[in-house]
Amino acid sequence: MRALLMPVSVALALATLTVPSCVEVDVTMDHQTLVVDWRDEIIYQIMVDRFEDGDPSNNYNVDVRREASYHGGDWQGIIDRLDYIESLGVTTLWISPVVKNVEEDAGFASYHGYWTQDFLAVNPHFGDLSKLQELVREAHARNIKVILDVVTNHIGQLFYYDINRNGQPDIVFFGGGGPGHGSQNPDQASDLRRASEWDPEYDRRGVQGFTALGENGPAPIEWVEMPEINRTPPNPPEFRDPRWYNRKGRVTVWETPNSASIACFAQEQCDWSDACLQDGQCDFYCDQGANICKPSFDYVREQEIKGDFPGGLKDLDTSRPDVTNKLIEVFQYWVKVADFDGFRIDTLKHQEHEFFEAFAPALRRYAKSLGKKNFFMFGEAFDGNDELLGSYTQREGVDSVFYFSYKYRVFGNVFGSGAPCDKQPWEDVASCAPKQAQIMFEERNADLNGGPRYSATPKTDGPTDAQGNPLVPQQLLVTFLDNHDVPRFLYQYPDLGRLRSALAHQLTMDGIPCIYYGT
The SS3 call for residue 62 is: strand
**290/327 same-domain check:** no
**294/415 same-domain check:** no
pLDDT category, 187, cuts 50, 70, 90?
A: very low
Q: Which of 98-112, 193-207, 448-462 has the highest mean pLDDT?
A: 98-112
**420/490 same-domain check:** yes
pLDDT, greater one: 285 or 504: 504
pLDDT category, 210, cuts 50, 70, 90?
A: confident
Question: What percentage of the chain reaches a pLDDT higher than 90?
Answer: 70
Backbone Cα Rg of the chain: 24
Mean pLDDT score of the chain, rounded to an integer?
87
pLDDT at 37: 98
pLDDT surpassing 70 at residue 423 = no
Cα 101 to Cα 68: distance, rounded to the nearest angstrom? 15
Q: What is the DSSP string of 271-331?
A: E--HHHHHH---SEEEETTTTEEEE-HHHHHHHHHHSBBTTTBPBB-TTSHHHHHHHHHHH
**405/271 same-domain check:** no
pLDDT, greater one: 111 or 280: 111
Domain presence at residue 501: yes
By the 8 A CB rule, do 458 and 470 touch? yes
Domain presence at residue 233: no
pLDDT digits (tens, 9 = 90+) for 315-369: 999 999 999 999 999 999 999 999 999 999 999 999 999 999 999 999 999 999 9
pLDDT digits (tens, 9 = 90+) for 212-261: 788 889 999 999 999 999 999 999 999 999 999 999 999 998 875 444 45
pLDDT surpassing 50 at residue 22 = no
pTM score: 0.88
**61/103 same-domain check:** yes
Long-range contacts of 464-469 (CB under 8 A, 24+ apart): 464/37, 464/373, 464/374, 465/36, 465/37, 465/39, 466/36, 466/37
**411/476 same-domain check:** yes
**408/267 same-domain check:** no
Kindly report whether the peptide bond that precedes residue 257 is cis, defined as omega within 30 degrees of 0: yes
pLDDT, greater one: 369 or 423: 369
What CATH number corresponds to the domain at position 137?
A: 3.20.20.80
pLDDT at 266: 63
**Number of domains the chain contains:** 3
pLDDT digits (tens, 9 = 90+) for 85-125: 999 999 999 999 999 999 999 999 999 999 999 999 999 99
pLDDT at 16: 37
pLDDT, greater one: 471 or 17: 471
Domain presence at residue 8: no
Domain presence at residue 92: yes
Average pLDDT (167-177) is: 71
Domain presence at residue 234: no
**361/509 same-domain check:** yes
pLDDT surpassing 60 at residue 177 = no
Domain presence at residue 480: yes
Q: Half-sphere exposure (CA, 13 Å, Cβ side) for 324?
A: 17
Characterise 336 by phi-psi region: left (phi > 0), alpha (psi -120 to 50), beta (else): alpha
Average pLDDT (28-56) is: 96
pLDDT at 440: 82
pLDDT surpassing 60 at residue 44 = yes
**113/53 same-domain check:** yes
Domain presence at residue 78: yes
Average pLDDT (410-417) is: 90
Query: Which domain, by its residues, includes 219?
Result: 159-228+239-247
**339/437 same-domain check:** yes
Cα 12 to Cα 444: distance, rounded to the nearest angstrom? 41
pLDDT category, 487, cuts 50, 70, 90?
A: very high
Domain presence at residue 2: no
Contacts of 26 (CB under 8 A, 6+ apart): 129, 130, 133, 337
**491/472 same-domain check:** yes
**490/509 same-domain check:** yes
